[in-house]
Amino acid sequence: GENGNMELKYVHTTCPYCGTGCGFNIVVKDGRAVGIEPWHRAPVNAGKLCQKGRYAYEFIHSKDRLVKPLVRENGQLVETSWEEALALIAGRFMTFLPEEIVCLSSARTSNEENYLMQKFARVVLKTSNVDHCARLCHSSTVAGLAAVFGSGAMTNSILDIEESKCIFIIGSNTLEQHPLIGRRVMLAKKKGAKIVCADPRCTPTAKQADLHLSMYSGTDVALLNGLMHHIIENGWEDSAFISKRTKNYEEMKSVVMQEIYSLPNVSKITGVPEDDLKTAAEWIAQSKPSALIYSMGITQHTVGVDNVRSTANLMLLTGNLGVPGGGVNPLRGQNNVQGACDMGCLPDVYPGYQKVADPKNHRKMESIWGVSGLPKAPGLTVTELMEQLAEGTSTVKCMYVMGENFMLSDPDLNKVRKAMKQLDFLVVQDIFLSETANLADVVLPAACYAEKNGTQTNTERRVQRIRKAVDPPGDAKADWRIICELAGCMGYGPQFSYMNEAEIFEEISKVTPQYGGMSYERLEKPDSLQWPCPDKTHPGTPILHTEKFSTSDGLAEFSGIEWKPPAEVPDVEYPFILTTGRNIWHWHTGTMTRRSKTLASEVRTGWVELNPKDAKKLGIRNREKVRVLSRRGKIEIPSMVTEDIKPGVVFIPFHFKECAANLLTNGALDPVAKIPEYKACAVKIEKIEPQ
Ligand code: SF4
């Protein structure tokens, strides 16, 4: 309008932080984002927000934003034009063979951008080497749940958590890490639901629970088998459900009924009192419906897939699938980690989890994309790649990274640094000069969530719009535009000529069966749509597996799973178990939250939590700077002496580069999902003596 410049504009969009997928309004004044206001019709959060969402405008206009492409000249990153940067990249990319190049996509960007990144890898570079950080958080969920249910996603909805009569939270600090899902848990509790929380720390979530199972990190399978042992012993299993909807029950039963999983033994392994195990088993089995919620405390182990399958066993045993208020509910971490997986940014599947190795899918994709010669074999996972690079055995020489910061987020950072030295050419596309971008040969400035349109998919499979509120700073551009321009420079203009984000989404719905009935028009209504939504009249699917499971015979499959200890256990030299995680004020590697004034001023740096008994033995006072060492690295970090952590266990949040927890963590991988063991490794703690 006439005085448009001074008017406030409210733009509905979706939070860029966690997988809860809260909606809010960005307030725009004079072309700048000046605040966040509630959007009451947002389905997940109904206008409420956590602190990260509330201040999600503060980093947008940060003076640190990347505003020009950068190229390395004589060791220094110097500004250049888009033309020169893209020509340089296109020229270099063309010199590498498909097996020499890897693309890393990003759970921080939109579905459209993830879709284009895997298309770029497969169509332009002819490589299946495309992966993203889901490898590090929920690859064990995708592998584990798909094996049991035929689908690797959260089975139920955030809203129906409120209908639960008992909520079993294991390996998730829901109230701090998915606060607006935590709110649903608290609403269920208010209505009388029992809350059970299994965690080595007495987190804010454990404090709100009716029962806290204070377990040793890395004993999840033993704990779950013990609960099932007790349930079967008491005849509390749901026989009707088991016979009608599942198979392989006897095999599972023969494993969990072994003497080692009787409660006295499980109590010894897990450190949880026998009576607490009894109460938990009774509540979970006897309250209907019961829901199970888990997160990275389950997935980030060398036995991640085993852990996931055990959670499914428990809920199948008690007949809690396909019903409101029940389900196995993995909480996805990043805003769009579900979408990045759905879009096929994984080395073995096209969009919609269609296997690369299946010739039928191969032909389908070649015809839709209008190309031939797509790679036929699955590619490398990012964790395997890092290991091979560090060992000097990898064929890979070039990496194209969109919005990831593995120089702080990957395990065993000294190894990652060594791996990066093996590369001949590294391109990083990001909104800030992250630790990873700082190593790149070319850095491309990207637009942030508030500067582009698109969709992202939250943890309950809800595909929601993000909407442009302001222009990107300087020469920065949306990731999807950058990918299209680069494809154009490499001779694939026709396959990457989109006018806008809606056109990309149209192609996504054609390629991806679960998104088949979706369009921007249908996603306009606040409730949006939850996949699967196979056709234009389908209303979407809030609860999976109501009639049958997505497996070939429609049955869910039990499996007998034995407990195995973590890859590295405490010993005389390294006597503590280290577990890592997040904090409510900060997000992952802190690139955004540490540049947000309000959030940064709440928590300025990291800390190591240890129990007063351990602190006393070591002569360490609260807030004293100590040294923490593992076989892989060491850091100096302030202590936090607290009863909230079990003796023998220590905790460090991983956001802070000045005391990076991942210098200590173990890169050992789950054999199936290739997820690393962030949640358990052995460390020692030393007092720093004055010089
Ligand atoms: Fe954003 Fe997650 Fe907080 Fe919601 S709960 S406001 S999605 S960070």
Domain ranges (residues) in the chain: 77-135+335-513, 155-330, 576-687
Q: Is 183 in the pocket of ligand 1 (CB under 6 A)?
A: no
pLDDT of residue 6: 67
The finding on whether 158 has its CB within 6 A of some atom of ligand 1 is no
In the structure encoding, which two tokens stand for residue 631, read together? 């076989």
Determine whether the shortest distance from the Cβ of 101 to ligand 1 is under 6 A.
no
pLDDT at 677: 67
d(CA 61, CA 53): 16
Please indicate whether the domains covering 155-330 and 576-687 agree at the CATH topology level: no
Q: Is the CB of 44 under 6 A from ligand 1?
A: no
What are the pLDDT digits (tens) for 316-343? 999 999 999 999 999 988 889 999 999 9
Ligand 1 pocket test: pick from 180, 460, 464 the residue with the most ligand atoms within 8 Å of its Cβ: 180
Q: Which atom of ligand 1 is nearest to the CA of 56?
A: 1
| Residue among 25, 37, 50, 172 whose CB has most ligand 1 atoms within 8 A, to mutate | 50
- The predicted pLDDT at position 452 comes to 96
pLDDT of residue 3: 47
Q: How far is 562 from 484, CA to CA, in rounded Å? A: 48
Q: What are the residue ranges in the chain where pLDDT is below 70?
A: 1-6, 134-137, 670-671, 673, 677-679, 691
Atom of ligand 1 nearest to the CA of 50: 3
Mutation test residue for ligand 1: of 13, 37, 57, 178, the one with most atoms within 8 Å of CB? 178
Distance CA(567)–CA(682), nearest Å, equals 10
* pLDDT value for 187: 96
Nearest CA to ligand 1 atom 6: 53
Nearest atom, ligand 1, residue 458 CA: 7
Q: Where are the beta strands (DSSP E) in 472-575?
A: 529-530, 556-557
Tell me 121's DSSP state.
I
Residue 2's pLDDT is what? Answer: 45
- In the CATH scheme, what is the code of domain 77-135+335-513? 3.40.50.740
Q: Report the C-alpha gap between 187 and 150 in whole angstroms.
A: 31
ipTM of the shown complex: 0.99
Ligand 1 atom closest to Cα of residue 49: 6
Q: Which of 454, 329, 338 is nearest to 14 (CA)?
A: 454
Indicate whether residue 508 lines ligand 1 (CB < 6 A): no
Q: Residue 635 forms beta bridges with which residues?
A: 628
Query: d(Cα 199, Cα 169) in Å, to the nearest integer?
Result: 8
- Please report the atom of ligand 1 found closest to the CA of residue 180: 5
Q: What span, in angstroms and rounded, lies between the C-alpha atoms of 106 and 134?
A: 9
Architecture of domain 576-687: Beta Barrel (2.40)
Topology at the third CATH level for domain 155-330: Dimethylsulfoxide Reductase; domain 2 (3.40.228)
What is the model's pLDDT at position 236? 98
